[in-house]
Structure 1
Amino acid sequence: MLVLASASTAQGQIAAGTMMLGGSVGYIQQSTEGAVGNTNEKLSELWQFNVSPTAAYFLVDNLAVGLNLGYSGSTGTLYNYIRAVPIGGTGSGVTVLQDVSELRSYNLRVGPIARYYQFVGEKAALFGQLGGGYQANRMEGETTSADPLYVSSELVTGGGFFAQLMPGFAFFPTHKLALEVTLGGFGYQRQTQKATFTQPAMVPASNVREYTASSFGASFGLSSLQLGAVFYLGRK
């Protein structure tokens, strides 16, 4: 795509004064299985959904500024097994489900964005989107087990600031509609969190801690795939 952008002589543009309305959605569902002793068992499940509506205004040709909202939610389950050997220690034993851990997380983001398009023809363009703002999140986890020592729950809440640089590709089937795809980007975030961990069988039964965490990283690939559609109101 970068080679095409530098070599292309065909030019397109989105003129100043155009309004951009659209967004993207992403969905992931995963399930893993593996050998536990002599049987094949389910080890984990993951479900994740995100949606990100955007509204922006083109101040100059191909450069828009606006506002982006983002929501994501996920549910994950982990299965832990043990091998139960019959009394007397004879035989290979059987596979028994020891405990199940479930995790649910939610994240809400809001902030300004700036997006620039580089056309590689009349119907295709590369774009880069820089954004930032504030996010709030919540994570709930619980473990159920046949052994009371492993029964526990956890609640983490917090929020903070974030910044993200995201490249993407847009295809224009019509003059006022674009279909988009992104595969991740670069991100930074700094958050303050409060975590409460509860384990009834232990003393003390609960533990509360507060902390601040920051991270910077890059994520590219199908696991970060998002598809979107954008309408360009007033584009001539």
Structure 2
Amino acid sequence: MKKILVVTAIAVFGMVSAQKNTLLVGGNIGYSNDSNKFMGNKVSSTEAFTFTPTVGYQFHKNWTVGINSVITSGKNEEGINNSASTVKNNEFAIGPFVRYAVPLGDIFAVYGDLGAGYQNQNMKTTTMGSTSEVKANGFYTNFTPALFINFKNGFGLNFNIGGIKYSHLKADGIDATNSNFTFSFGKEIGVGISKNFGLK
């Protein structure tokens, strides 16, 4: 199995020094691709694009609270040269988070984000020309530790290698649920840039 995970960041007005009474604004863009081949033929592939905007209020030098949302669009294909089935998946999640940060000097800091909230999913499956659609709603909770790097002129880079997440979804109109616990340390790469705006 060959797996490539590339996550690029978008700077939405980035800054990083931990200051009390500031407004945090940030966002990440992510892309992942997982492709499998057998005897030279592609038998499965999965790709996903993710956008994660964040807004928060830093009320203490160590503590920030705010709203985090995740927009994901993905596709999974199965069969020889992806001919058997295709699953297109769109997800949206939004909820509050709390962050605790510990500075390690003027340049580095470590922090952990604990969040929870609402999520929905729209999944379309096409098999041999026939398409079905399932919509689901539910909740999630997650914890993500990260490293913060302070750049010149207040710009900062956030870096993580995964986290812990629990997700629960219930399908609309049918008796089907999905509960998922994910431990992704070392399996993902996340990079982002953020900015703290001073408030009067």
Q: Normalization by structure 2: what TM-score?
A: 0.83
C-alpha contact 1:105 1:139 (8 A) present in aligned 2: yes
Q: 1:155 to 1:30 in 2, by over 3 A?
A: same
Q: 1:124 to 1:111 in 2, by over 3 A?
A: same
CA-CA distance at 1:168 after TM superposition: 0.8
In the alignment of these two chains, the number of paired residues is: 184
Corresponding position of 1:204: none
Report if the CA contact (8 A) 1:66-1:113 is conserved: yes
- Asked if structure 2 preserves the Cα contact closer than 8 Å seen for 1:177 and 1:232, the reply is no
Which residue does 1:122 correspond to in 2? 106
Q: Which amino acid aligns with 2:149?
A: F
Q: Say which SS state the counterpart of residue 210 (structure 1) adopts.
A: coil
The residue aligned with 2:139 is 161
What code does the residue aligned with 1:14 have? A
More moved, 43-52 vs 175-184: 175-184
State the Cα RMSD in Å: 2.2
CA deviation vs aligned residue, 1:116-151 (integer Å, no higher than 9, x gap): 11111211111100111100101111112xxxxxx6
**Which sections of structure 2, spanning at least 5 residues, go unmatched?**
1-15
| Residue segments in structure 1 that go unaligned for 5+ positions in a row | 1-11, 81-96, 145-150, 196-208
Partner residue, 2:97: 113
RCO comparison, higher one (Cα < 8 Å, 6+): 2
Q: 1:19 aligns with which of 23, 38, 45?
A: 23
Of 188, 193, 197 in structure 2, the residue corresponding to residue 229 of structure 1 is 193
What is the CA-CA distance between 1:175 and the residue it aligns to? 5.1
Displacement of 1:62 in angstroms is: 1.9
Q: Percent identity?
A: 26
Moved over 6 A (4+): none
Residue type at the aligned position of 2:99: R
Work out which of the two has the higher radius of gyration on C-alpha atoms and give 1 or 2. 1
> Given the superposition, is the C-alpha separation of residues 184 and 194 from structure 1 closer, same or farther in structure 2, using an over 3 Å criterion?
same
